Structure 1
Amino acid sequence: MDCATYIEKYLSAHVDGELSAAELREAEEHLAGCVNCRARFAEERAVKALLRERAAMRKTPAIVRGSILAALDAVDAAGASKSGTRGSDRSAGADRAPWYSIRRARMWAPVAIAAAAVFVFVILHGVGGPPPAQAIPPFDVAIQHYDTFAQRFEPNVKSTLPADLSDAYIDHNLPGFLWNFRPVGYKLMGGRIDRLADGTSVAYTFYRGDMGTILCTYMKSHGLQPPDGEMQEVGIHHYYEYKGYSICLSYPPRGGFICILVSKRPMKEFIEDIATCES
């Protein structure tokens, strides 16, 4: 399968989950070897997720509801006036059918305009600024601590040696893997082990460099699957722009946990930093 065939015949149905088993197998085989189509797939999925979110039922603003009601009142008043001036020599049966058709046409014209106003309001409301990010609690936990640590980081693991941090994390039933961001100019500042509201342990490892800061958060996944809206997927890493932050969501080899890397670095440079550290 070539790219043109995939994009024209498969892409939309692939995103919507409407491919047959055989078609899905062909599509997945193509995506496995085509970075361009993987990017198109991610873009299409992100757009459709945004449309689903923005098309949610919204309460019509009072000003728009007032316009619709005023239009309906005007139609009713015009209809009453028109029917009152009709000659009594016409029979009710002869008059009713054509008036009904005319009244429907006249009624739906202003109502359609008012409805269009509602539609325009919702669309403009949606694109007037960036759409609000769908709440993802683990991301919110990570960025909240990132902001705090960027101002002042107070480690509670006494050592800053990677081996000692790893042992401390493992002792608290957390993954012992530590990122080494030294090749891209970040210094390991230390680690913290805290507890979340549900009582589970969480580990924070903080890095600082000339280009900014990075926070690594380890916590239980609680069944979290990669949310929609990712910018890019590279192996086990899922990249997101979330509330102004660059985020990498990964699943460590030790099951049941997630690793969330948070930074203010532009996404392209953030991905390059992570790739450099893994190479």
Structure 2
Amino acid sequence: MTCDEYQDLVAAHVDGHLNPTEMQAVHTHLQSCVACRERFAEEQEFHLAFAARRVLLTPPPSVMAKLHNALTRESSLLPSWRQRLVAHRVSLFSFFFARRLATAVVVTALILAFWWFPTTTPDLFASAVKQYELATTDQFVFTYVVRDPRKLEQSFNDSGQLDFTTHVLDFRPFGYRIRGGHIVRFNGHPTAVTIYRGPEADIVCLRQRGALPPLPPGALRIGRDLVYTYEQYTVLVIQESDLFCMLVSRLPRDVFLRSFGYRS
């Protein structure tokens, strides 16, 4: 595979839409091409940033006023539309098409308003879960295929890509083996990602420098750690002195906690 050929596939690669033959060719190419690995990392960062934003958007009052006025005008025109439908015997299909078109216009206006007036906050859990999905569906390109925790830790710290000294957790006593690791930009900051293969489910660990941003309510606090159930995932959040760590798994919360000696 050439760089030009990968350029045509990078979007499908990030979205997870490559077939097995394409995925094998991509993996082989990225192992030896630094430029394409960097391109993939850039595309993945944009994809994660887009996916990590909650739809908790409040459009400006002017946009809401225009939308309200447009809906009011549309509502006032409905009787005349019905009269015209009767007078000209317009088909029922055309009526439903017009309504769907009006709905599409309103939805498009909302999307454009949200796009041009972003007041979203990054969702840590959505980004972490996206990393889990990429890693466990073979859409993740491991920069470091290292099984030993200390060797992977050294590879991370020698990479020059992190703004902190990381530590790789050793879960072998609990039955989890490292598959590999990678460094991504997560909410604009370099993040060390380690993937573990376990007897029942994989675990993805993300470590980043700094304090945790505000988190949503609903956590189970165990000592200094926080445990969330996010959709069908369990997320364990650990705040250390100058960095935080997130562990993501599909295991049920109680099973996940017992696996590592926690008492819920």
TM-score scaled by structure 2? 0.48
Which structure has the larger Rg? 1
TM-score scaled by structure 1? 0.45
